[in-house]
Amino acid sequence: MAASPRVGVLALQGDVREHARVLTGLGAEVVLVRRPDELAGIDGLVLPGGESSVIDKLARAFGMREPLRDAIAGGMPVYGTCAGMILLADRITDGIAGQESFGGLDATVRRNAFGSQVESFETDLEVGALGAPPVHAVFIRAPLVESVGPAVDVLARLADGRIVAVEQGALLATSFHPEVSGETRFHERFLARVRAAG
């Protein structure tokens, strides 16, 4: 376990391969999770970027929604990027009709806060918890954290103060996509949580 944690990537939709590649490169054994029984054999889970409303619908169709909620509530370490951040949030604004999250993160997250695909951008972020150098962050139809509860630690903000990375206990979430920019420190931080929990 300590040497090679088994980490799931929710593989219903989104940038599953990119996360699997980063995690494998960091020494994790990666399991693609599509069914409830596959949750039982993993030590942590990544919720990838993609389309949060589609992942929500597919999770219900595959019977995954309640098992995922139970795993998160039970303390499983989870890292959500972009759509994954939305899925972790207890509260969503600008979701489509009927959209729900898995919850666990005491935060309000605004879906597609920056607009459409053409409003995608890149920037460098100072992340004190990760040290130097700055994180090169890629935002693709990204969400924003509008508010957080007292148990949530803010890890990164844009220059204008808007929140784009948070953690709460075993949960980590970023508005951006480290898995596409070659940035591994968030995945390393997540794996440290997985090892500590195991």
Task: Kindly report the three-state secondary structure assignment for every residue of 137-191.
Answer: EEECCCCEEEEECCCCEEEEECCCCCEEEEEECCEEEECCCHHHHCCCHHHHHHH
Residue type for position 181: S
Whether residue 107 lies inside any domain: the answer is yes
Give the chain's residues under pLDDT 70: 1-3, 115-119
Tokens 């489509």 -> residue:
96
Catalytic residue among 18, 19, 167, 177: 177
Whether residue 66 lies inside any domain: the answer is yes
Catalytic residue among 18, 51, 167, 179: 179
Per-residue confidence (pLDDT) for residue 158, from 0 to 100:
95
Whether residue 13 lies inside any domain: the answer is yes
Distance CA 16, CA 32 (A): 8
177 is catalytic: yes
**pTM for this predicted structure:** 0.95
Which CATH number belongs to the domain containing residue 85 in this structure?
3.40.50.880
Per-residue confidence (pLDDT) for residue 3, from 0 to 100:
66
Per-residue confidence (pLDDT) for residue 97, from 0 to 100:
82
Whether residue 157 lies inside any domain: the answer is yes
Per-residue confidence (pLDDT) for residue 1, from 0 to 100:
44
Catalytic residue among 82, 167, 183, 187: 82
Whether residue 27 lies inside any domain: the answer is yes
Whether residue 52 lies inside any domain: the answer is yes
Whether residue 1 lies inside any domain: the answer is no
Q: Beta-carbon neighbour count of residue 158 at 10 Å?
A: 14
Whether residue 140 lies inside any domain: the answer is yes
179 is catalytic: yes
State phi, psi for 86 to the nearest 5 degrees.
-60, -45
Question: What is the domain range of residue 16?
Answer: 6-197
Per-residue confidence (pLDDT) for residue 25, from 0 to 100:
96
Per-residue confidence (pLDDT) for residue 99, from 0 to 100:
86
Q: Please give the C-alpha separations between residue 181 and each of 5, 122, 133, 135, 175, in angstroms, as whole numbers.
A: 23, 10, 14, 9, 13
Number of domain units in the chain? 1
